[in-house]
Amino acid sequence: GQQLNQSPQSMFIQEGEDVSMNCTSSSIFNTWLWYKQEPGEGPVLLIALYKAGELTSNGRLTAQFGITRKDSFLNISASIPSDVGIYFCAGQRLKGSQGNLIFGKGTKLSVKP
Amino acid sequence: DTEVTQTPKHLVMGMTNKKSLKCEQHMGHRAMYWYKQKAKKPPELMFVYSYEKLSINESVPSRFSPECPNSSLLNLHLHALQPEDSALYLCASSQDWSNSPLHFGNGTRLTVT
């Protein structure tokens, strides 16, 4: 089946550092989504990307839709303790009018104050 | 705060019990989803409803029975579950079942004893 390769699997960083994570696939996607999930909660949508090459920011977060449509990255600048959580990428592919969402395995982020 | 509301937040049930999970959204979304999430794993799709019709059943055992009474509500009826069904059950909605991003609820933490 379709798979997304998300890396790194986990990160342990110092507060104030920048963070970068990415997802790659052998398949083309129409949309890339980035979610954050904290313990006891559902995934929260951070950024949605719809066009190849698109670069979108949401506060300290920046994400890009790769030119080949097979990859995306998420950067977090100047990390703070509340950035802790699991970050999931998700690729969405249109099959006819149906949007099938594929999740990466997640990047667990730990921030040391 | 999530705009997709799930109840109950926690549920403990025996293998002979019948229970239901409920999900509600008032964003006017026409696609609703049930996902199952095990610890440290990404969400796995169970069912998709599009315009109140079941569009996808990802080979889910019949002990899970979805229901969409109207465009704002989604239920998941549970009967004769197994301990391995213990997981976080997430409801999500999107504007339609195409290229629109999914918005998740905070889930129901289900424990089957």
Task: Give per-residue pLDDT as tens, A49-94.
Answer: 999 999 999 999 999 999 999 999 999 999 999 999 999 999 998 7
Residue A113 has pLDDT above 70, yes or no: yes
Contact: B42, A92; criterion CB under 8 Å: no
Q: Residue range B48-57: average pLDDT?
A: 93
**Region A29-58: what's the mean pLDDT?**
95
Positive or negative, the CA dihedral B74, B77, B81, B86 is positive
**Residue B100: closest CA among chain A residues belongs to which residue?**
A99
- Say if residue B71's pLDDT is above 60: yes
- Residue B104 distance to chain A (closest CA, Å): 6
Burial class (CB in 10 A: 0-12, 13-18, 19+), A54: middle
Predicted confidence (pLDDT) at residue A95 exceeds the cutoff of 80:
no
**Does the pLDDT at position A1 exceed 60?**
no
Average pLDDT over residues B62-73: 96
Query: What mean pLDDT do residues A86-108 have?
Result: 87
Report the pLDDT value the prediction gives residue B21, as an integer from 0 to 100.
98
Q: Is the pLDDT of residue A45 over 70?
A: yes
- Report the C-alpha gap between A61 and A79 in whole angstroms: 10
Q: Which two tokens stand for residue B5?
A: 């509301």
CA distance A106 to B63: 29
Q: Which two tokens stand for residue A51?
A: 């066009």
Q: Which of B62, B49, B64, B59 is nearest to B110 (CA)?
A: B64
Residue-level pLDDT at A44: 97
Q: What is the pLDDT of residue B1?
A: 54
Query: With bands split at pLDDT 50, 70 and 90, how would you rate the model's confidence at A97?
Result: low
Are the CB atoms for A109 and A87 separated by under 8 Å?
yes
**What pLDDT does A48 receive?**
95
> Region B97-105: what's the mean pLDDT?
89
Question: Residue B22: pLDDT above 90?
Answer: yes
Q: Do B107 and A42 touch (CB under 8 A)?
A: yes
- Altogether, the residues listed in chain B come to a count of 113
Mean pLDDT, chain A, integer: 93
CA–CA distance, B48 with A31 (Å, rounded to integer):
18
Quick one: pLDDT at residue A101?
Answer: 87
Nearest CA in chain A to B50: A98
Consecutive H or E run containing A13? strand A10-14
Q: Mutate which of B74, B98, B108 to test chain A, going by most A C-beta atoms within 10 A?
A: B98
Report the percent of chain A where pLDDT is more than 90.
Answer: 85
- Residues of chain B in contact with residue A10, where contact means CB-CB under 8 angstroms, are none
SS3 label, residue B105: coil
**Is the Cβ–Cβ distance between B104 and B6 less than 8 Å?**
no
Tokens of B64: 């899970």
Whole-number mean pLDDT of chain B? Answer: 94
pLDDT, average across residues A17-33: 95
**DSSP symbol at B80:** S
